[in-house]
Structure 1
Amino acid sequence: MANQTPESNQPSNTQTYGFPIYAADWIPEETVRSKIDKDQDNSEDVGGESSSSTSRSCIVLAGGGGEGRSGIKNVIVICRVDLDTKSLAEQPLGRIVLGTDLPYRMAVHPRGGGLVCALPNSCKRFDWESIISPREGDQGGEEGEEVINELKDVGQQLALAFNQEGSVLAAGGEDGTLRIFEWPCMKTLLDESKAHASVKNLTFSESGKFLVSLGGPLCRVWDVNASAAIASLSKEKDEMFAYCRFSVDNAGNEVLYIAANTERGGSIITWDTTTWKRRRSKLMKNYSISAFNVSADGKLLALGNMEGDVLIIDSTKMKTHQLVKKAHLGLVTALTFSPDSRCLVSVSFDSRAKLTVIEKTPEKRKGSKLAGDVVVVRVAIRGFLLFLDGKGDHRQRK
């Protein structure tokens, strides 16, 4: 349950949901729109809340206390986001309890095929309906949950990712095994037991042709169709690769970003996806990266750190666009941009979710136009005064 301070009856962009949050993502809203709208309409009838349907979005959060010794439940929750009031709902729209299994990582199917969560020894798929539907006694049943047989008893999976079409699922294990499957038939495309010492992050290219896996000292590039590694991306000096994300730059070219930590701070490395060579790197001094993501339009990068700060930078200039100091009380665990790139949700071990609205960059053209208009007015006034002076001289000569 979310908690607010007594004076915070007004909509808030920060909510505390009562469990350490490990994963967060936006839900492809069109796939669950009817159910969400129905639930929200009912809550408005009872509570008197109102919000236009166009402003409604939802996020899914996963986390908990682990094996249960802490008394904190392991849960998946769906929460409403109101873009009009720029706020997160205090009470979750849906909630499912998972017993002693901690949902450490998750992947949202991009075409409405539900949610895949990595549990300590296996992976499960959850229907949106099973999370949104009310349950008696605050308990989640097995209806709407499905253990994925191909990922059963395989140990902890530290990374999960769907390609953009939702036709391929990749899973990276703590034991270093990389598995790639066709979805939903789960036909094995790749099962590499020695991909890394431990797979920590995965990302599919925009086209779905490539998969990049990160773990140990290397990033490896895989051709999905050929089911083979085609390149290895090595670290330099004291770099420790932490996250990888594909995106598209302003020229429409696909790029790969790798977020790394060094003794001097965090570093963002940009790679060419044709030659698989480094393009450039940007060092953020004294900034330890604990979470990383890229906006859907490719214009912004988001970083979270150990101290709870959230940094948003321009991907072209690699300069700070927005800094949210102490967004959280501690380590930022995940960051996710809204599909329209207008907002960012950050989560943490502090049980908080925070919605940050992306500030708009002032348009220089408007400033230049205004300056030009001022010049034109000044010239016109000067000309008018000269005209008057000339007219006066003409009268005096007469």
Structure 2
Amino acid sequence: MSGPVVVLDARIPVYAVGFADAAHLFYVGGGGAGRSGVTNNIKAAHVELRPSPALRAAGDLPLSAHEDAPMCVAVHPLDAALVCGVNEAADQLAQHNHHLRTYTFDTARPSARADGAAEVALAPARAVPSLGIRDAEHYQRTAAFSPDGTLLAVASSDGRVQLHRYPSLAPVWTQPYAVPGGAEVYDTDFSHDGTQLVVATGAQLLVLSTAPQTTDADDTAAPRVLQTIARMSFGTLRGTFRAARFGRGTGDAGTRSRLFALVNTQAQDAKTRASYVVAWDADTWKLQRARRVARRPGTVLSVSPNGRLLAAGTSDLCVSVLQARTLRPLLRAEHAHDFPPTCLTFSPNSRAIVSASADATVRMQVLPEGLVPKLSISDELLFVVFLVLAVLMGPTHS
């Protein structure tokens, strides 16, 4: 079972995507600093799901060719603003690096197409330092807003994490949090209520409180580590984390009380490199489920806004969709891109999945109706029903 697919020629390698609303999507990337001829850009696309799915270019903001390409993007859940990470030019890094960039956008331009103008207007707003990046080999790898938009988390490829208040961008912690061993951070995500932040490195998942630990004596604020999940093994295969996301949604169909991770494995002979999606209870931190998604390493993970679906991109060029509560495979798009997917996101109504890649394509697949039953029965409810039936059908005494 599959759904309609449309592909947009992005004209740049794409490293991150994010929806602004049901009709507008942003994607970022480029060729980096230098004279490659491939621009660095923030681009917008107009999205249509009905009556016929469509993606079309809707505006862009070219960035400096002397600076890095943006490797992450986060669109604010309420305001017409987005955040990217862009290193300054290499010859400026020793003095300063205002890599945390904010931009505003305007999508309310109904006459733009008729006038031949861009449908979406983008403009730079602010640029501030955050993670103390001074080495051109490292960069801001992640950006994520809390669900209410009051907090912004960013992390770097050299293992530093900072929490900012929004819109002031004031840091919550006195100093960026350094993950153990300076390990590269692959992913960051907030819990549904914004009280927790998960940080994924290859060796562990760190769950931090967004309420800082303060010290009156020296007036400092530092992060509090609530939980650490160490790397796991699948039989004889050692796993490393690649991505982590908290669940979303309410009721029996929702998964906001779960934490999901994409885990890659590698055998000693390096021939077996399967990837798995793993789920934990986010209250007790007990392991709940694990499911192999591909025979090759995973690259990216996403959770649908309604919490009912997961999507994973893998280095075999595929995109897989799973039922979030059971991890049951629902759909697999073979050869979705020519290069491994770099980013994934669901549409706001959870009806479509968008992926992109360094192959300069943005791909949208509309998910089939009824992919997940509207009534999703939890394991706990099934257990209760089983007990009731067992009692009713038990032996009777005359």
TM-score bracket relative to the smaller structure:
0.7 to 0.9
Q: CA deviation at 1:285?
A: 4.4
Q: CA deviation at 1:85?
A: 4.2
Give the corresponding residue for 2:229.
233
Q: CA deviation at 1:240?
A: 0.8
Q: CA deviation at 1:151?
A: 5.6
Is the alpha carbon distance of 1:105 and 1:146 closer, same or farther for their aligned partners in structure 2, counting shifts above 3 Å? same
Give the corresponding residue for 1:115.
82
Unaligned residue ranges in structure 2 (runs of 5+): 89-98, 213-222, 267-271, 375-398
Give the corresponding residue for 2:94.
none
- In structure 2, C-alpha distance between the alignment counterparts of 1:277 and 1:296, rounded to whole Å: 23
- Give the greater-gyration-radius structure (CA): 1
Give the corresponding residue for 1:71.
37
- In structure 1, C-alpha distance between the alignment counterparts of 2:372 and 2:24, rounded to whole Å: 30
Aligned partners of 2:293 and 2:320 also within 8 Å: no
Count of residues in correspondence between the two structures: 324
Is the alpha carbon distance of 1:195 and 1:124 closer, same or farther for their aligned partners in structure 2, counting shifts above 3 Å? same
Between stretches 203-212 and 243-252, larger displacement belongs to 243-252
Aligned partners of 1:58 and 1:80 also within 8 Å: yes
Give the corresponding residue for 1:325.
334
SS in 1 for 2:247: strand
- Structure holding more strand per residue: 2
Give the corresponding residue for 2:141.
158
Is the alpha carbon distance of 1:85 and 1:189 closer, same or farther for their aligned partners in structure 2, counting shifts above 3 Å? same
Give the corresponding residue for 2:392.
none
Is the alpha carbon distance of 1:124 and 1:130 closer, same or farther for their aligned partners in structure 2, counting shifts above 3 Å? farther
Give the corresponding residue for 2:128.
148
Give the corresponding residue for 1:174.
157
In the TM superposition, 1:270-285 aligns within 5 A as 270-285=279-294
What amino acid maps onto 1:304 in structure 2?
G
- In structure 2, C-alpha distance between the alignment counterparts of 1:359 and 1:278, rounded to whole Å: 30
Q: CA deviation at 1:78?
A: 0.6
Unaligned residue ranges in structure 1 (runs of 5+): 1-10, 30-56, 366-398
Percentage identity across paired residues of the two chains: 25
Aligned partners of 2:76 and 2:145 also within 8 Å: yes
- The answer to whether the aligner puts 1:298 opposite 2:282 as a matched pair is no
- Structure holding more helix per residue: 1
- In structure 2, C-alpha distance between the alignment counterparts of 1:162 and 1:27, rounded to whole Å: 13
Aligned partners of 1:343 and 1:356 also within 8 Å: yes
What amino acid maps onto 2:240 in structure 1?
M
In the TM superposition, 1:1-398 aligns within 5 A as 13-28=6-21, 57-90=23-56, 92-100=57-65, 101=67, 102-121=69-88, 122-129=99-106, 144-150=124-130, 156-190=139-173, 191-196=175-180, 197-226=183-212, 227-237=223-233, 238-248=238-248, 251=252, 252=254, 254-263=257-266, 264=272, 265-361=274-370
TM-score, structure 1 length as denominator?
0.75
Is the alpha carbon distance of 1:362 and 1:282 closer, same or farther for their aligned partners in structure 2, counting shifts above 3 Å? closer
- In structure 2, C-alpha distance between the alignment counterparts of 1:231 and 1:12, rounded to whole Å: 40
Coordinate RMSD, CA, aligned = 2.9
Aligned partners of 2:25 and 2:47 also within 8 Å: yes
